[in-house]
Amino acid sequence: GAGVSQSPRYKVAKRGQDVALRCDPISGHVSLFWYQQALGQGPEFLTYFQNEAQLDKSGLPSDRFFAERPEGSVSTLKIQRTQQEDSAVYLCASSSRLAGGRGTDTQYFGPGTRLTVL
């Protein structure tokens, strides 16, 4: 596709439910990032994939959060046993270059998934 797509755009979950958020990066982009944006805040880094390898998951707030990118394209962020503090917008971004290569590369963001946990 032309840009990064995410689904669903909105998700309402009852506390304790598991949710899965999907990200389709720009075709051919090797780097994929997940960010969490709480209301009124800037996005916070969650995790980074280089192709199918998850190279950095230091931003995941708890072991209830899990991300995968098994074939190096589509990624899924899963949250188990959701809590109210998980309510946020989850943004996915992709870029065409390997992170850390000489010269950085722009990250292009999807529209986000707004998760509300009741």
Partner 1 sequence: AQKITQTQPGMFVQEKEAVTLDCTYDTSDPSYGLFWYKQPSSGEMIFLIYQGSYDQQNATEGRYSLNFQKARKSANLVISASQLGDSAMYFCAMSELDRGSTLGRLYFGRGTQLTVWP
Binding site for partner 1 (CB under 8 A): 31, 33, 35, 40-45, 48, 55-56, 58-59, 89, 91, 93, 95, 99-100, 102-104, 106-112, 114
CB of 100 to partner 1, least distance (A): 4
For residue 84, the SS3 value is helix
Strand partners of residue 98:
none
CB of 16 to partner 1, least distance (A): 26
CB-wise, 16 or 101, nearer to partner 1? 101
CB-wise, 1 or 14, nearer to partner 1? 1
Query: Phi/psi at 88 (nearest 5 deg)?
Result: 180, 175
CB-wise, 50 or 80, nearer to partner 1? 50
d(CA 71, CA 60): 21
CB-wise, 80 or 87, nearer to partner 1? 87
CB of 34 to partner 1, least distance (A): 10
In the chain the first and final C-alpha atoms are separated, in Å, by 33
d(CA 39, CA 26): 26
CB of 92 to partner 1, least distance (A): 10
Work out whether strand 31-37 and strand 19-24 pair parallel, antiparallel, or are unpaired: unpaired
